[in-house]
Structure 1
């Protein structure tokens, strides 16, 4: 991050058929930190998972607000890019956990090194070293 790059304030959100299992996968395997989880044994009303380098995602159980849900997202339709330094370590963990690799580790023409997976719900996650371009002054 440079002086011109503000801290993350955009938090993607998703819904899951089995939110508790998705939380465990994202925390125990991928490396997110469980910051807050609200709900009961069966339903997650709100969950914040923080990424160690900044930002994170929010998720909840599909249908957790009933038929009048104004934020009814379809499970498995989410995609997210996550900046990471330890690409090979994350790749080894998700591979050992049986995640479906949809793009093996590779270098891009814009200087990133990364890979992509599908999580147990079918969401797409891309991990890479590209931090984005700094804002212009």
Structure 2
């Protein structure tokens, strides 16, 4: 198998919002509260009754988003509930710093449903990113940084 690298001039145009990670949570309603309240996602659509979320779409204000739903609905994703790692591109270091402070504040919250834990401290990487990684209250990892892969 060969490994091919494309330059920006040979790679087809890429849509910034064409990839949407799909996650399953044991408590999707609480996950939505955390993602909106702490990480700054915008709730676009939530379908379901009571505590069950059949389908939700959360927009990342800087492009793209995530889809999620409740575990226990017989979905093939059920065995993967509360697992995953998502990278969010922030437009600048100030945005990363603000989100880092919000995650630190959530770690001190009385309500465990909103407590996140920083797993990789805020730093500047050799490849040019300014960012950090946290684990949300359910176990999903969220890396937030300024690195934007070249197109």
Q: Map 1:1-137 to 2 at 5 A.
A: 4-64=13-73, 66=74, 69-84=75-90, 85=92, 86-98=95-107, 99-134=116-151
Q: Any runs of at least 4 consecutive aligned residues in structure 1 with deviations exceeding 2 A, and if so which? A: 4-7, 69-73
What is the TM-score when the length of structure 2 is the normalising length?
A: 0.81
Counterparts of 1:15 and 1:107, CA distance in 2: 31
Counterparts of 1:28 and 1:9, CA distance in 2: 24
Deviation at 1:71, TM superposition (A): 3.5
Q: Deviations over 1:77-128 (max 9, x none)?
A: 2110000130000000111011210011101111000000000101111000
Aligned CA RMSD, in angstroms, stands at: 1.7
5+ long unaligned stretches in structure 1: none
Structure having the higher Rg: 2
Counterparts of 1:130 and 1:10, CA distance in 2: 17
How many residues were matched structurally?
A: 130
SS in 2 for 1:35: strand
5+ long unaligned stretches in structure 2: 1-7, 108-115
Residues 14, 73 of structure 1: 8 Å contact kept: no
What is the TM-score when the length of structure 1 is the normalising length?
A: 0.89
Counterparts of 2:30 and 2:76, CA distance in 1: 24
